[in-house]
A and B are shown apart, each in its own frame.
Chain A
């Protein structure tokens, strides 16, 4: 395991743990998702660069486009939630519990 490998793995796992364990704001959860996507972008780019697989350089770009779509949909959901629930606290999303 090289340090590069270690750092992007730990970055992704940190983002996942932050998303899974403790969030108060929906926006913080979306930021954690963005952090996970950032570490995936770096992992894919470093993979192409270290293997000098030039044809794969487009893969991080596609990933970035898709993660931008995901982030924008998440922010649109943030706006929709703020309209219907009045706040973006994840604790207030409790209408559907049984």
Chain B
């Protein structure tokens, strides 16, 4: 399990390298998918299965559909993948920088610090994070109301921003 978690950590970092190295938005969205999936794996390895599930559903189910749609809006005839020269240069620079910084910290990575894997210390019916999120509905009621208000506000903001007026060139989107 420790190896899996370290693989997921590596996937998380490499996914962000793939996003940050300025490829075309298609491939950047793919990198974000990889990073989000690896992040779910890291959370499961630490025993936060409910938070991981929420992240998986929201990112891969909700948000990335919208991002894929918008990538189609911003499509270009020759999208740059990671093999192209400029993008490859950035990838190499980022990976080398990461390696240098990681080797700087290498001595401080003590053995027990590698992975904190949840080992089912005692038999429980509900996991800790599930309980904690459920507390949002009781003690965190004010924050819940605040979140609901912000989501409503975002709805109005988006509708107001994308309202079609007489200005502009493109009418298809």
Check A-B contact in the complex, CB < 8 A: yes
- A69 nearest CB across to chain B (Å): 4
Which residues of chain A are near B28, meaning CB under 8 Å? 27-28, 31-32
Q: Are A46 and B42 in contact (CB under 8 A)?
A: yes
Which residues of chain A are near B48, meaning CB under 8 Å? 45-46, 48-49, 57
Q: What mask results when residues 7 to 49 of chain B are scored 1 for a CB within 8 Å of chain A, else 0?
A: 0011011011101111111001100100110010011001110
**Residue of B42, B136, B157, B161 with highest tally of chain A CB at under 10 A:** B161
Number of interface residues of B (CB under 8 A): 78
Docked CA distance A83–B10 (Å): 39
- A32 nearest CB across to chain B (Å): 6
- A34 nearest CB across to chain B (Å): 6
Q: Which B residues have a C-beta under 8 Å from some C-beta of A? A: 6, 9-10, 12-13, 15-17, 19-25, 28-29, 32, 35-36, 39, 42-43, 46-48, 51, 54-55, 58-59, 62-63, 66-67, 70-71, 73-74, 90, 94, 98, 101-102, 105, 108-109, 113-116, 118, 128-129, 131-133, 135-136, 139-140, 143, 147, 150-151, 153-154, 157-158, 161-162, 164, 167-171, 173
